Structure 1
Amino acid sequence: MRKPGARSFVELLTDQVASEFHAHQQYVALAVWFDAHDLKQLAKLFYAQAIEERNHGMMMVQYQLDRDIPTVVPAVPAVRNEFTSVREIIELALAQEQQVTRQIEALFAAARAEGDFIGEQFVLWFLKEQVEEIASMTTLLAIVDRAGDDLFRVEDWLAREGHDEGHDSSAPPAAGGAV
């Protein structure tokens, strides 16, 4: 049973769509910053991250459509475009992923409190995804710290290690298809 004053699963899911689209836009801004600074591997990584966040939002939209939940396409807040260091950017990305994790956990808790077993099952995939996202950004931050001022070491590491996770067949479908 939901606590009095607690936000419903549907309300939180609608907010989460906005968060995913905002994350998409923020990651595009980060990728563009890297591109403008001739850090092509970092740019490639964050362009891919942007698409992933867009797809997450569209998965949530498809879920709403499939469950006949009123669906709106939200506006997104302005993103940050100015940075002084690569570390600052990766810290922002990590903080963003940590915030999304807290939001997804709240979604799961709301579904459970409402006895929404389908909603709970839907959110489980996103919880797994967030573990991977936080681990990835934490590792990248460590690589940036080890590289110091030699950002080409970060670029070399990304070129060597890659970040192409491929298609996850357990992922929920995205409205209009995943990009």
Structure 2
Amino acid sequence: MDGVVNIVPRTSRAQNLFEEQVGNELAVSQQYVAIAVWFDQRDLPRLASYFYRHSLKKRNDAMRIVQYMLDNNIEVEIPGVPAVRNTFEDPSELVALALEKERAVTDEVTALSQTLRQDADYLGEEFMRWFLAEQVEQVSEMTTVLDVMDRAQGNMFDMEDYLERDPVGDDRNESAAPRVAGGKL
């Protein structure tokens, strides 16, 4: 049986939750593309770039989970993602939605971590530590962006200037981050 890899069939709640989390991260990534495009269409390049970068971060997070599953010979099925929201009335709605998505991801990552602990999956629990820390940063960062947007009182050029002066989230050290399946984009 040369060349045959033994893939472990799904046998635990945690394995199912890993797969769901891949879908959750990819769904947020797609939503961030829609947000970025909305800003791009309105000639707000720094806001667009900010959300394009966040889309890639979420995609990479999904692929970190895929890599973990591959490394542990866990069967991987990539789920589809639901449709994203594309219509907004006010720019602050987009950032508020992004904050809502980050809070939801935090809840999902926390639930996955709790399940791993309950199932005595210590390797999985250790793997998830980076994601927990990452979500604290993501919620804090998105809260800051929303606060600054609220203070800008609808003046998107002030928001653009702010992101030029203080590139929120660009200086984080990802040296401790898990590997990304297929390589980081």
Q: TM class, shorter-chain normalised?
A: over 0.9
Of 89, 98, 105, which aligns to 1:100?
Answer: 105
Query: 1:70-109 counterparts in 2 under 5 A?
Result: 70-109=75-114
Show the counterpart of 1:124: 129
Show the counterpart of 1:4: none
The Cα shift of 1:73 comes to 1.4
Show the counterpart of 1:55: 60
The Cα shift of 1:90 comes to 0.6
1:65 aligns with 2:83: no
TM-score normalised to structure 1 length:
0.94
1:42 aligns with 2:47: yes
Give me the whole-angstrom Cα distance separating, in 1, the residues matched to 2:29 and 2:106.
15
1:15 aligns with 2:20: yes
Give me the whole-angstrom Cα distance separating, in 1, the residues matched to 2:83 and 2:156.
28
CA RMSD, 1 decimal: 1.0
Unaligned runs of 5+ in 1: 1-6
Tell me the alpha carbon deviations over residues 10-37 of structure 1, each in whole angstroms, 9 at most, x when there is no partner.
Answer: 1111100000111111000000000001
- Contact 2:35 2:51 (C-alpha < 8 Å) held by counterparts: yes
Give me the whole-angstrom Cα distance separating, in 2, the residues matched to 1:50 and 1:168.
16
Unaligned runs of 5+ in 2: 1-11
TM-score normalised to structure 2 length:
0.91
Of 169, 175, 178, which aligns to 1:169?
Answer: 175
Runs ≥4 residues deviating over 4 A: none
Give me the whole-angstrom Cα distance separating, in 2, the residues matched to 1:79 and 1:145.
24
Percent identity, aligned pairs only, is 45
Letter in 1 for 2:179: P
Show the counterpart of 1:144: 149
Q: Which moved more, 1:67-76 or 1:163-172?
A: 163-172
The Cα shift of 1:146 comes to 0.3
The Cα shift of 1:80 comes to 0.6
The Cα shift of 1:150 comes to 1.2
